[in-house]
Amino acid sequence: MQITETKKRLIEKLGVFFEGQGKTPVEARIIGLFLVADQIEITLVDIQQTLSISKSAVNNAINVLLLREEVEYVTKPGDRKKYYKSKIEQWMTHVEQHIEKSVEGKVLLKEALEQRIKTTKTFNTALKDMIDFMDYVQSQHKELFTKWKKLRNKS
Amino acid sequence: MQITETKKRLIEKLGVFFEGQGKTPVEARIIGLFLVADQIEITLVDIQQTLSISKSAVNNAINVLLLREEVEYVTKPGDRKKYYKSKIEQWMTHVEQHIEKSVEGKVLLKEALEQRIKTTKTFNTALKDMIDFMDYVQSQHKELFTKWKKLRNKS
DNA sequence: TTTTTAGTTCTGCAAATACAGAACTAAGTA
DNA sequence: TACTTAGTTCTGTATTTGCAGAACTAAAAA
């Protein structure tokens, strides 16, 4: 498996971005590779060679991505290699989960509000607003996603 | 400055949550302290003592939070202490920025799509969908926030 | 039966992080 | 002028993270 210099550079740029999203360098570059590679299905050795990473690092990263269901693999009769592929269609689900996670602290904030002294009115109102906003975001997102799914299935 | 055991436990729980959001343990606990403390304005020494952290750690964390504009400070005449306070009202802005950041990779994904071989139709369509979805989220979010601001100012 | 191949696991190291403690600065105070 | 106080910066270190390389397992091929 070979890859152009342009694509290699793009993989690095994508890598840096995904690092910023909390992925490790290796994970990030593997995702990048899936995004630019001519093949959908890529073997461990291919990843290892095109990205110049150790086999163990690739294996560990891939297994993390498998757990997170960002990647899956297929097999072929009479071939014991695993052909890894990006679950890119699932990506929207991950965004949903990501947003869910960012408002999951709502419960704790409510607890904080209950525990607060009642005299700090401005602060308490601001905190209350924050919690309400989280509720709002949460409710609106469900709509956002269902709307999108409809919109998507039409075109 | 003193604080109940209940609140201390809550600070730790909030701390763990904010660590999950990418903050360092110290940053996370300082934010937690601001959320439950009876005073709005808290000095460096107060933070240091109630959280049992070193002065340097508090100072560094506070300065990071100042840079990120999650915290600000006020001063008082004839008192050279700095009174730090949470910029909790600004919190919605941070959520906006957070969401913006999560779709800022759109440009790179477009680049990836352009560079891709044209024969992997399913994948390319999925990638295109992903990009479109990011556009959609971005546009809808602006609406989401302005709607909320209206809704908020009414009540 | 040895050899090859795919993948996993283990071991160790190098770099990055996060923090404590001490030294230091600057501006008042006794 | 020495002393205190608030805050900053520096130095060292413990911990964590991320990865390479080697050892290992399992299954098929020679």
**DSSP state letters, A17-86:** HHHHTT--HHHHHHHHHHHH-S-SSB-HHHHHHHHT--HHHHHHHHHHHHHTTSEEEEEETTEEEEEEEE
Is the per-residue pLDDT at B34 higher than 70? yes
CA of B131 to C1' of D28 (A): 43
Integer-rounded Cα Rg, in Å, for chain A is 21
Strand D closer than 7 Å to the CB of A76? no
Is the per-residue pLDDT at B61 higher than 70? yes
Instruction: Identify which has the larger pLDDT, A101 or B48.
Output: B48
Backbone angles phi, psi at A119, to 5 degrees: -80, -20
* Nearest-nucleotide field for A79 (CA, C1'): D28
Strand D closer than 7 Å to the CB of A48? no
Integer-rounded Cα Rg, in Å, for chain B is 21
pLDDT in tens, B112-151: 999 999 999 999 999 999 999 989 988 888 888 888 888 8
Instruction: Name every chain B residue with its beta carbon within 8 A of the beta carbon of A149.
Output: none
User: Cβ within 7 Å of strand D: which of B 24-63?
Assistant: 43-45, 55-56, 59-60, 62-63
- d(CA A67, CA B97) in angstroms, rounded, equals 29
* Nearest-nucleotide field for A43 (CA, C1'): C6
Is the per-residue pLDDT at A15 higher than 90? yes
Is the per-residue pLDDT at B5 higher than 90? yes
pLDDT bucket at A87, cuts 50 / 70 / 90: very high
B53 touches chain A (CB under 8 A): no
pLDDT at B103: 81
Instruction: Name every chain A residue with its beta carbon within 8 A of the beta carbon of B95.
Output: 102, 133, 137
Q: Which chain D positions come under 7 Å from a protein C-beta?
A: 5-11, 17-23, 27-29
Mark yes or no for CB contact B17/A105 under 8 Å.
yes
Tokens 């009876």, residue located: B38
For residues B127 and B109, the answer to whether their CB atoms sit within 8 Å is: yes
Instruction: Give the gap in angstroms from C-alpha B126 to the nearest C-alpha of chain A.
Output: 6
* Alpha helix positions (H), chain B: 5-20, 25-36, 44-51, 55-67, 91-102, 106-115, 121-154
- d(CA A89, CA B42) in angstroms, rounded, equals 48
Strand D closer than 7 Å to the CB of A21? no
**Per-residue pLDDT averaged across A6-27, rounded?**
95
pLDDT at B62: 97
Mark yes or no for CB contact A6/B129 under 8 Å.
no
- d(CA A135, CA A114) in angstroms, rounded, equals 17
CA of A57 to C1' of D20 (A): 8
Mean pLDDT score of chain A: 93
Q: Does domain B5-86 have CATH number 3.30.1130.10?
A: no
- B82: which DSSP letter? E
Please tell me the number of Cα atoms within 13 Å of B4 on its side-chain side: 10
**Per-residue pLDDT averaged across B14-19, rounded?**
95
Question: Residue ranges per domain, chain B?
Answer: 5-86, 90-154
